[in-house]
Structure 1
Amino acid sequence: MVRKGPKHELPHLAPPRRRKRRSPTGVLASLRSSFFTGAMVLVPIGVTFWLIWWLTGWIDGWVMPFIPLRWRPDNWLGVNPRGLGVVIIVTFTMLIGWLARGYIGRAMIRNAEAIVDRMPIVRSIYGGLKQISETILTPGDEKFERACLVEYPRRGAYRIGLVSGPARAELTDIDGIDDRILSVFLPNTPNATTGFLIYVAERELIFLDMSVEDAAKLVISAGLVYPTSSEKSDDRS
């Protein structure tokens, strides 16, 4: 008689796990997200380098024809180095500025301006351009004082403005307005260098804590780029 031993049961084996397959839609969404992330990194860098490359080429094309052929570097280098025109125009501008700061240079400028003042049309163009260039190119603090909101073009609608300073001369005496009058530049989107000037009573303006630069970025980006909270706190402090 054969004695049967105790019955041993096999341990329970769990079924192998199956890896979840990504759906094609999920893969495409991930690839699309990676593409747009890379584009956000590369586009500003590429556009910046392209603008620099184009600007240097434009300046070279404008400056190099004034250099005699025998003195051009492509005759003895075999290639025309890009950016040489920028170096020449910067050096020439610095030289003119150095001469204009001296006694002889100031005397020459006064004599030239005296001649221009006798020309009816030319003096108006020259005077306007001179005032604009002195305002923009004079080193110092930012030209606009503060950023503000102006209720424009109707009640309940607001537009970002840049306060350029108080009104002067006869613009300070406007009938019916006792408050101080400020000149405000209203920039356009996306080209903030264009816009128009309005004169508004100070009490009608809503002044902002953001800097003038942040306000310009906000206008250029059509409301997509806002100053961060850290930038706001820095401005307030």
Structure 2
Amino acid sequence: MRAFKNYLIAGFLIWAPLIISVWVVVTLVAMFEELLPESLSAKALFGVDVPGMRFLIVLVVLLLTGALTANFIGQAILNRWERLLGRIPLVRSIYNSVKQVGDTVLAPNGEAFRQAVLVEFPRQGAWTIAFVTGAPSGETKQHLQADYVNVYVPTTPNPTSGYFLMVPRSDIVELKMSVDAALKHIVSMGVVAPPPSIPQE
């Protein structure tokens, strides 16, 4: 009976990540395909239904958009488009917020989510993994006399929700593990241990 239980758990651990990964990919493909009209479907264009055809079209559109906005003319068009959206009250607030977060998180030279650290949370003596997202600025910086950093403390097992904290730099412990390893450790609720750090010579 114990062997049966062990085999069952082993089989589950092998198939569960694969099934979840396939489900996520299929869901994303279906979502992207819904963004395009039926006239751009493979059946409408070629008379044959090709799964994922509209997803490939969306991918090509994204790549072309990125390539066009990488030059001076594309930037000028993009700036005009953003000024147009800035005149629409509700759209302006949502667009600017999403764009600012995206620019901050995805910026190659930005600090957001580039470093995993240990912080004491939710009380002194209890530690958790957090991610550095930058440094306080503006009015908050004026009220903070010491050297502070912005950190994001994700929840488990869903790291997309969490807590934003401003803590003294002296109160954080920098980790050598990668952000990916830290996320796996958080999502698995500590079951998946991060790889051991390699001592520097």
1:187 lines up with 2:160 in the alignment: no
Partner of 1:9 in structure 2? none
Q: Tell me what 1:7 maps to.
A: none
Establish whether residue 115 from structure 1 lines up as the match of residue 84 from structure 2. yes
Q: TM-score, normalised by structure 2?
A: 0.84
Is the Cα–Cα contact under 8 Å of residues 120 and 126 in structure 2 kept in the other structure? yes
**C-alpha distance 54-121 of structure 1, shift in aligned 2 (>3 A):** closer
| Cα distance in structure 1, aligned partners of 2:7 and 2:166 | 48
| % identical equivalent positions | 29
User: 1:79-158 to 2 correspondence within 5 Å?
Assistant: 79-139=48-108, 143-158=112-127
Q: 2: CA distance between counterparts of 1:72 and 1:204?
A: 55
Q: CA 1:95–1:119 in 2, change beyond 3 Å: closer, same or farther?
A: same
The question of whether the paired residues in 2 share the 8 Å contact of 1:148 and 1:208 is answered with yes
* Higher gyration radius (CA): 1
In 2, are the aligned partners of 1:57 and 1:82 still within 8 Å (CA)? no
How big is the alpha-carbon RMSD for the aligned residues of Structure 1 and Structure 2? Answer: 2.6
1:100 Cα deviation after fit? 1.9
Q: Is the CA contact 2:121–2:128 (under 8 Å) kept in the aligned structure 1? A: yes
5+ residue gaps in structure 2?
Answer: none
- Given the alignment, which residue of 132, 139, 152 partners 1:170? 139
Q: Out of 55, 64, 81, which is 2:28 matched to? A: 55
Counterpart of 1:197?
A: 164
Tell me the distance in 2 between the aligned counterparts of 1:156 and 1:76. Answer: 63
State the TM-score, normalizing by the size of structure 1: 0.73
* Count of residue correspondences: 201
Go from structure 1 to structure 2 and tell me whether the alpha carbon gap of 1:140 and 1:48 turns closer, same or farther (over 3 Å shift): farther
Flag the 1:225–1:74 CA change in 2: closer, same or farther, 3 A: same
Q: Report if aligned partners of 1:60, 1:82 keep a CA contact under 8 Å in 2.
A: no
